[in-house]
Amino acid sequence: MLFRPQLPPAPTASMHVAGSSPVTHAPASTCSCQHTAGPAMAPRRQLPSVSTGAVAALLVGGVVLTVLLTAVAVSAVSVAVAAVVLRSLLAHQRHR
Domain ranges of the chain: 54-96
18-43 pLDDT, tens digit each = 666 666 666 566 667 776 766 677 77
| Residue 86 pLDDT | 94
Alpha-carbon distances, residue 24 vs 21, 27, 28, 68 (angstroms): 10, 10, 12, 66
**Closest C-alpha to 80, from 92, 72, 90, 91:** 72
61-73 pLDDT, tens digit each = 999 999 999 999 9
pTM, to two decimals: 0.45
